[in-house]
Amino acid sequence: MSSLWPELERVLGEVQKPARYIGCEDGMIIPEHRPEKAAWLLIYPDTYEVGLPNQGLQILYEIINERPDAVAERSYAPWTDMAGVLRRTGLPLFSVDTHRAAGEFDILAFNLSSELVYTNLLECLDLSGVPLHTTERRSEDPLVIIGGHCAYNPEPLADFIDAAVLGDGEEVVSEISEVVAAWKVSGRTSRDGILRELARIEGVYVPSMYEVDYDGDRLVSFTPRLSGIPEVVEKRTVADLASWPYPKNQLVPLTEVVHDRLNVEVFRGCTRGCRFCQAGMITRPVRERPAGQVRTMVTDGLRRTGYDEVALTSLSTADFSGIEQVVATAVADDVCGRVSVSLPSLRVDAFTVGIAAEIQKARRTGLTFAPEAGSWRLRQVINKLVKEEDLYGAVGSAFSQGWRRAKLYFLTGLPTEIDEDTLAILDLARNCIDVGREYHRNPSVTISLGGFVPKPFTPFQWFGQNTETELRRKIGLLRDELRSGGKTLNGVKLKWHDARASVIEGLFSRGDRRLGAVIEDVWRNGGVFQEWSEHFDITLWSDALARNDLSLDWYVYRHRTHDEVLPWDHLSAGLHKDFLWQDWRDALDEVGLEDCRWTPCYDCGACTSYGVEHIVASAVPPAGGSQGTGQAVNGTGVPVSLTIGPRVPAGAGS
Amino acid sequence: MRLRVRFAKTGKVRFVGHRDVARIWERSLRKASLSVAYSEGFSPRPKLSFGLALSTGYESNAEYLEIELLEPADDSTWSPVDAEAMRVRIDAVLPAGFDVLAVAPADRRADSLQQAVTSCTWEILVDPAGVDEVATGVADLLERNEIVVERERKGKVVTEDIRHQVLALDVTGEAGDGVRLSADLGTQPRALRPDEMLAAMDPPLLARSVCRMNQWMSQGDDRIEPLSVDAAPAPLAEVRA
Ligand code: SF4
């Protein structure tokens, strides 16, 4: 139970960026460990620079440390050079707060936001000296828990994790702490016993408590092994963000990290209903933080940290009630020096000159908008109901306020996409350049193209992902057109995400338990940091699949049928499966669906299943743009249809 | 007015690189609500100038920084009391491991610290080889007429004689299981790092910890510090973050 710092200090000179491993952040907590307290090690299985800013992890770090019966420290995946040093010197993975060995904690809790980090989880377990497989762990070994968006389909990790936590963590960490602290006090007897108790906590899924039956390749059922274990595990939802003004003391790192600024979460959830977007579906309903609390968190946060930038974070931030006012008054006058406010997530149909003017004060280098698809037809399929005019309006607002560069984010490989849809991306970019020329001589527009990966708990969960070849062909289509496009495309640049990486994301996104062997195989062959293009190696994955007699065709490229049992059917984000199926049918019929925040409820289940509801200060959508209705923008008023009924085919009027 | 600040960097934060140290200062000065002057232009930066860079991993009791302040406009009314108040105010906002040792008005017309400083005193702890063995190595090094080493300069490897930059080198005692050395090393035209010197010894030594104790400017035949500290903290102070 002691600090490994003296040993680490001797080897830190040998690694790149040693400041990753020292902790010492402003806001760091040095907790008092005691035998009767549950000790959590919160691990972000990517580099310190990527993991430190994670708000979810920081929120839980504070909440756990406020409890009398628990402590929490943090750790991040050591870069490959450090992992080498640790193995050579026999030192284990450690916390950055007090440099305590990971194996001394009771709970190793991983925050997973990308499938490609799964092998890093194994790397961290191995460096901790914890047996990789749940079946090999004894009662003195830590409990291995995962949370974050990937926890909604934890099946590929079933061999390695003791439990997965679904949904908001604010409340459930307290319940887990109580159970684990009691288990410690009672002498930490049977591991099976503690797992059983964890499985009884709402929102906690213990994979080993379920029997999985297959018929050939096909899943037949998940059955709880014991009574008292729920047949379906429901996610957790905090009813009101106002009760959780965390993090109160955002960590300020001593070395540069991504999103190196004050981050204040202004709301959680999104009901715009984009069909490709898992985050929007699983975090419903919308829960806004009161504007006054936002202001306090911004002002206090800036004073305490000394940051000169604050980001208001959420999905589609411009949807926050009265956003222009909030941005304009977020920063109290007496905060010293110049401060910029950024809105990292913007929908074009809610981005106005007013917002542009407010956030331009510090001249960001570029603005990103996400039309997601090139044609209006395809945007109806994916329910991203922004009109071309919305995009040009938003881009015009930005260019008129001094920006010269805009980035447009698109997905390719979407359901029903044909080459005309793909090529329409270039038309949008070309027109944006034209809009920009009204303000600047050399405006630039960067198209950033990602390959679409279907995710669980979305209407597209049944869709067979485009093959690697097809994704490459679509990327090539744009690339060739851009090369031969001549003058009209001057200023347009194209960047794309590696299609092979999209395929591996797709493999685990909708994978099942049998993939555990593949993850382990890749890790054993040195595949770590696969989310980093310099380390990603597709042959590791294809070899591992072949060795295990599993195929991409079956897991990734295959359309699922209505009656198929999906590997996450025994988990729930509240969403009714028939709502999702109907939304999938509507997508194929090119029928859009309006935002239920400002129109009647469709009973998707996210509120109705849990007795919670939207907390939105404004009864009407923010002004400007077509606001997702898909109707013509005429500059006056916001045309929102108020037709009563379960389903409003938005866009029918245009 | 322009402020000169002397600060220490000790403990775990010795692994923070100098670019990050600059960022830490920018944030800290905003926390202290000091009216720091900003540069003009597209992306204005606070006007801070740092002295000699310190290698990542080294500790220091003698880091320097100059800050351009809008208020007060000049230092004619400044007293030692103001200086102490300012020292405390800045010290309070710095992260643990960084400590402000002294603050004083600086002359805008003077040479930059990087030009003015000619040598540094270092306290070095080397891994045990036995005091006598280390002493022999030191004597051998000092007897040489030239010490030719390979150094990297602008990405290229060049050979250089560093003998004239080793101004003094003494064994000052034993600490724990290591041997303590004190070295005065020249900084012009390019600062000689303690590990470069240790590597040139026969047999080469490895530093377990290195602390910059002083920076020196020459004044006639004498040398002075840019800002002296009356009661400097103990060498390799146990100010562990
Ligand atoms: S339950 Fe109704 S109001 Fe709540 S998110 Fe679903 S559709 Fe919207």
Helices (H) and strands (E) in chain B, counts: 5, 11
B119 and B100 within one domain? no
The Å distance, Cα A265 to ligand 1 centre, comes to 21
Distance from A335 to chain B by nearest Cα, in Å? Answer: 8
Number of domains in chain B: 2
The minimum-distance atom of ligand 1 relative to the CA of A604 is 6
Q: Is the CB of A271 under 6 A from ligand 1?
A: yes
Q: Give dist(CA A396, CA A352) in Å, integer.
A: 9
The Å distance, Cα A452 to ligand 1 centre, comes to 25
Nearest Cα residue to B3 out of B27, B25, B23, B21: B25
Altogether, the residues listed in chain A come to a count of 654
pLDDT digits 0-9 by tens, A175-187? 999 999 999 999 9
Distance from B124 to chain A by nearest Cα, in Å? Answer: 14
Which residue among A281, A575, A607, A610 is best mutated to probe the pocket of ligand 1, counting the most ligand atoms within 8 A of its Cβ? A607
Chain centroid, CA A329 distance in Å: 29
Over range A606-617, report the average pLDDT: 91
Q: Residue A216: which domain range?
A: 5-234
Angle in degrees, CA A605, A606, A610, rounded to 5: 90
Contact A85, A293 (CB under 8 A): no
Higher-scoring residue by pLDDT: A617, B62: B62
Q: Is the CB of A601 under 6 A from ligand 1?
A: yes
Distance from B57 to chain A by nearest Cα, in Å? Answer: 6
Query: Does A616 have pLDDT greater than 50?
Result: yes
* CA-to-CA separations, A439 to A348, A403, A633, B97, in angstroms, rounded: 19, 9, 22, 49
User: What percent of chain A has a predicted confidence (pLDDT) above 90?
Assistant: 77
* CA-to-CA separations, A29 to A33, A58, A96, A265, B129, in angstroms, rounded: 12, 11, 10, 21, 39
Contact A573, A282 (CB under 8 A): yes
Pick from A12, A24, A255: which is nearest to B97 by CB? Answer: A24
**Inter-chain touch A21–B93, beta carbons under 8 Å:** no
Residue type, A230: P
User: Residue A560 phi/psi, 5° resolution?
Assistant: -90, 155
* Residue B187 belongs to a domain: yes
Contact B150, B199 (CB under 8 A): no
Over range A562-587, report the average pLDDT: 96
Q: Is the CB of A602 under 6 A from ligand 1?
A: yes
For residue A431 the two structure tokens come to 């027109």
pLDDT of the residue at B234 = 40
The Å distance, Cα A322 to ligand 1 centre, comes to 22
Q: Minimal Cα distance from A99: which residue of B?
A: B12
Chain centroid, CA A355 distance in Å: 25
pLDDT digits 0-9 by tens, A207-228? 999 999 999 999 999 999 999 9
Q: Residue B22: which domain range?
A: 2-110
Residue A112's region, left for phi above 0, alpha for psi from -120 to 50, else beta, is beta
Q: Is the CB of A589 under 6 A from ligand 1?
A: no
Q: Minimal Cα distance from B96: which residue of A?
A: A24
A322 confidence band (pLDDT: 50, 70, 90): confident
pLDDT digits 0-9 by tens, A80-101? 999 999 999 999 999 999 999 9
The minimum-distance atom of ligand 1 relative to the CA of A284 is 5
For residue A473 the two structure tokens come to 């062909």
Lowest mean pLDDT among A315-319, A360-364, B91-95: A360-364
* Residue B234 belongs to a domain: no
A366 confidence band (pLDDT: 50, 70, 90): low
Higher-scoring residue by pLDDT: A390, A198: A198
* Residue B157 belongs to a domain: yes
B136 and B181 within one domain? yes
Chain centroid, CA A456 distance in Å: 13
B73 and B137 within one domain? no
**What is the full DSSP assignment across B42-57?**
SS--B-EEE-S---TT
User: What percent of chain B has a predicted confidence (pLDDT) above 70?
Assistant: 94
Over range B47-54, report the average pLDDT: 93
A528 confidence band (pLDDT: 50, 70, 90): very high
Higher-scoring residue by pLDDT: A329, A104: A104
* CA-to-CA separations, A335 to A149, A301, B32, B111, in angstroms, rounded: 35, 10, 11, 34
* Residue A400 belongs to a domain: no
Q: Give dist(CA A567, CA A562) in Å, integer.
A: 14
User: What percent of chain A has a predicted confidence (pLDDT) above 70?
Assistant: 90
Q: Give dist(CA A613, CA A269) in Å, integer.
A: 11
The Å distance, Cα A649 to ligand 1 centre, comes to 16
B98 and B34 within one domain? yes
The Å distance, Cα A614 to ligand 1 centre, comes to 8
Pick from B13, B26, B33: which is nearest to A254 by CB? Answer: B13
* Residue B240 belongs to a domain: no
Q: Kindly report the CATH number assigned to the domain that includes residue B96.
A: 3.30.70.580
Which residue among A235, A270, A271 is best mutated to probe the pocket of ligand 1, counting the most ligand atoms within 8 A of its Cβ? A271
Number of domains in chain A: 1
For residue A154 the two structure tokens come to 């934890």
Over range A127-144, report the average pLDDT: 96
For residue A598 the two structure tokens come to 């400002």
* Residue A576 belongs to a domain: no
Q: Give dist(CA A578, CA B26) in Å, integer.
A: 54
Lowest mean pLDDT among A266-280, A604-618, A623-637, B206-220: A623-637
User: In 3-state terms, what secondary structure has residue A575?
Assistant: coil
Q: Give dist(CA A178, CA B76) in Å, integer.
A: 63
A405 confidence band (pLDDT: 50, 70, 90): confident
Angle in degrees, CA A36, A41, A46, rounded to 5: 175
Report the largest interatomic distance among the alpha carbons of chain B, rounded to a whole angstrom. Answer: 59
**Inter-chain touch B95–A254, beta carbons under 8 Å:** yes
**Inter-chain touch A305–B33, beta carbons under 8 Å:** no
pLDDT digits 0-9 by tens, A412-457? 999 999 999 999 999 999 999 999 999 988 999 999 999 999 999 9
Q: Kindly report the CATH number assigned to the domain that includes residue A217.
A: 3.40.50.280
Sort out which chain B residues have CB atoms less than 8 A from A7's CB and list them. none
Query: Does A157 have pLDDT greater than 90?
Result: yes
* Residue B237 belongs to a domain: no
Distance from B223 to chain A by nearest Cα, in Å? Answer: 32
Over range A358-376, report the average pLDDT: 73
A367 confidence band (pLDDT: 50, 70, 90): confident
Please, where are the H alpha helices in A414-509?
A: 419-437, 468-484, 499-509
A635 confidence band (pLDDT: 50, 70, 90): very low
* Residue A517 belongs to a domain: no
User: Strands (DSSP E) along B53-196, which ranges?
Assistant: 59-68, 98-105, 117-126, 148-153, 156-161, 166-175, 178-186
Which residue among A237, A284, A457, A594 is best mutated to probe the pocket of ligand 1, counting the most ligand atoms within 8 A of its Cβ? A284
Q: Give dist(CA A62, CA A42) in Å, integer.
A: 11
Please, where are the H alpha helices in A148-262?
A: 172-185, 191-199
**Inter-chain touch B27–A252, beta carbons under 8 Å:** yes
User: Residue A580 phi/psi, 5° resolution?
Assistant: -65, -40
Contact A452, A500 (CB under 8 A): no
B162 and B66 within one domain? no
* Residue B140 belongs to a domain: yes
Count of A-B CB contacts under 8 Å:
67
Sort out which chain A residues have CB atoms less than 8 A from B16's CB and list them. 19, 22, 254-255
Query: Does B37 have pLDDT greater than 50?
Result: yes
Altogether, the residues listed in chain B come to a count of 241
Q: Is the CB of A599 under 6 A from ligand 1?
A: no
**Inter-chain touch A19–B93, beta carbons under 8 Å:** no
Q: Minimal Cα distance from B36: which residue of A?
A: A337
Contact A502, A510 (CB under 8 A): no
B124 and B90 within one domain? no
Q: Is the CB of A582 under 6 A from ligand 1?
A: no
Q: Is the CB of A596 under 6 A from ligand 1?
A: yes
Q: What is the pTM for the complete model shown?
A: 0.92
Q: Kindly report the CATH number assigned to the domain that includes residue B178.
A: 3.30.70
Query: Does B233 have pLDDT greater than 80?
Result: no
Nearest Cα residue to A298 out of A261, A270, A268: A261
Chain centroid, CA A155 distance in Å: 18
Which residue among A277, A596, A648 is best mutated to probe the pocket of ligand 1, counting the most ligand atoms within 8 A of its Cβ? A596
A646 confidence band (pLDDT: 50, 70, 90): very low
Q: Minimal Cα distance from A307: which residue of B?
A: B27
pLDDT of the residue at B147 = 94
B137 and B73 within one domain? no
* Residue A642 belongs to a domain: no
pLDDT digits 0-9 by tens, A338-356? 677 877 777 766 666 666 6
* Residue A138 belongs to a domain: yes
B124 and B76 within one domain? no
Distance from B88 to chain A by nearest Cα, in Å? Answer: 17
pLDDT of the residue at A343 = 78
A398 confidence band (pLDDT: 50, 70, 90): confident
Over range B148-164, report the average pLDDT: 90
Higher-scoring residue by pLDDT: B106, A635: B106
Over range A145-164, report the average pLDDT: 97
Residue type, B183: A
Q: Is the CB of A604 under 6 A from ligand 1?
A: yes
- In 10 A of CB B159, how many CB atoms? 8
* Residue B235 belongs to a domain: no
B217 and B162 within one domain? yes
Higher-scoring residue by pLDDT: A394, A635: A394
B123 and B105 within one domain? no
Q: Give dist(CA B106, CA A460) in Å, integer.
A: 66
* Residue A24 belongs to a domain: yes
pLDDT digits 0-9 by tens, B89-129? 999 999 999 999 999 999 888 888 888 999 999 999 998 76
* Residue A11 belongs to a domain: yes
pLDDT digits 0-9 by tens, A39-63? 999 999 999 999 999 999 999 999 9
**What is the full DSSP assignment across A453-477?**
---TTSGGGGSPPPPHHHHHHHHHH
Query: Does A632 have pLDDT greater than 50?
Result: no
SS (H, E, C) B124-154: EEECCCCHHHHHHHHHHHHHCCCCEEEEEEC
A653 confidence band (pLDDT: 50, 70, 90): very low
Distance from A307 to chain B by nearest Cα, in Å? Answer: 6
**What is the full DSSP assignment across A88-131?**
HHTPPPB-TTT--BGGGSSEEEEE---GGGHHHHHHHHHHHT--
A623 confidence band (pLDDT: 50, 70, 90): low
pLDDT digits 0-9 by tens, A231-278? 999 999 999 999 999 999 999 999 999 989 999 999 999 999 999 999
B100 and B45 within one domain? yes
* Residue B181 belongs to a domain: yes
B123 and B208 within one domain? yes
pLDDT of the residue at A629 = 47
The Å distance, Cα A373 to ligand 1 centre, comes to 25
* Residue A567 belongs to a domain: no
